Amino acid sequence: MLNKSIKFLIENKLVAVILLALFVGWGIVNAPFNWETGILPTDPVAVDAIPDIGENQQIVFTKWQGRSPQDIE
């Protein structure tokens, strides 16, 4: 199926160029930048750029009779 799709796009260059233009336009419309696109509406995807700088923690469950969790830690 992939070979047939590639062969179709090679033989029909106009369809390939139109698909490329649609994908580029879609990317420009959804870009998270403040671009002035003119005729294209902008609907940027929200970007959460807050890094997670918290300490990495792992919870380990163990049994040690007579000891508190603070002693085991």
- The answer to whether residue 70 scores a pLDDT higher than 90 is no
Residues 28, 29, 32, 35, CA torsion sign: positive
Report the Cα 9 to chain-centroid distance in Å.
Answer: 27
- What would the mean pLDDT of 23-47 be, rounded to a whole number? 81
Q: 67: pLDDT confidence band, cut at 50, 70 and 90?
A: confident
- What would the mean pLDDT of 15-29 be, rounded to a whole number? 93
| 44/69 Cα distance (integer angstroms) | 48
In whole numbers, what is the pLDDT of the chain averaged over residues?
A: 82
